[in-house]
Amino acid sequence: MISQQQIPKGQSGALSLHDGKRTEQPCILLVEDDRSLRRYLEVVLQQEGYEVFVAADGLEAMRISLRSVIDVVVTDAIMPHLNGYELCRFLRSTPHLSHLPIVLLSALDNLDSQPADLQADEFLAKPIKPEDLIACVERLLQTCGSAA
């Protein structure tokens, strides 16, 4: 059995592991069921220098999160198979993933709910402005990097 100390934590600027290959860019797990929005956000994040793993639903995201070192999760709230709220609960309840910062995206106006109530660190309402997403991810990477 692998202990939590043996699992490397991804951090901004830290080396990350993906299928046995190390990268120096921070790694973002992007989970979005809308194919065109997923591709758009993937390109936006890549242009900022992030390595991006994409998943079309929460189930696929679970598999990726268990085999890759990730620095931030950006997930849609409403998806088939396993929604973003359920993915947040999975990540928070998995010891070696519970530290991951999570950005929850939704077209529904959940501004009355606090991100902590949703088990996410940040909430962004759709439509998402690229500069808002980048600022949010950078803020979370700085916060997590300084906490380590």
The string of pLDDT tens digits covering residues 22-54 is 457 899 999 999 999 999 999 999 999 999 999
Which percentage of the chain shows pLDDT scores above 90? 68
Is the peptide bond prior to 80 cis by the omega test (within 30 degrees of 0)?
no
Residue 112: the pLDDT is 53
- Other beta carbons within 10 Å of 60: 19
Superfamily designation of domain 10-147: Response regulator (3.40.50.2300)
Q: What residue ranges do the domains of the chain occupy?
A: 10-147
Cα–Cα distance between 90 and 94 in angstroms, integer? 6
Q: What is the mean pLDDT of residues 68-78?
A: 95
pTM listed for this prediction = 0.79
83 pLDDT more than 60: yes
Between residues 82 and 9, the one the model is more confident about? 82
How distant is the alpha carbon of residue 78 from its chain centre? Answer: 15
29 has which bridge partners?
Answer: 53, 73
* Pair 31, 87: CB distance under 8 Å: yes
Strand order through the sheet with 72-76: 51-55, 27-31, 72-76, 102-106, 122-125
What 8-state DSSP symbol labels residue 25?
S
Give mean pLDDT, residues 62-89: 94
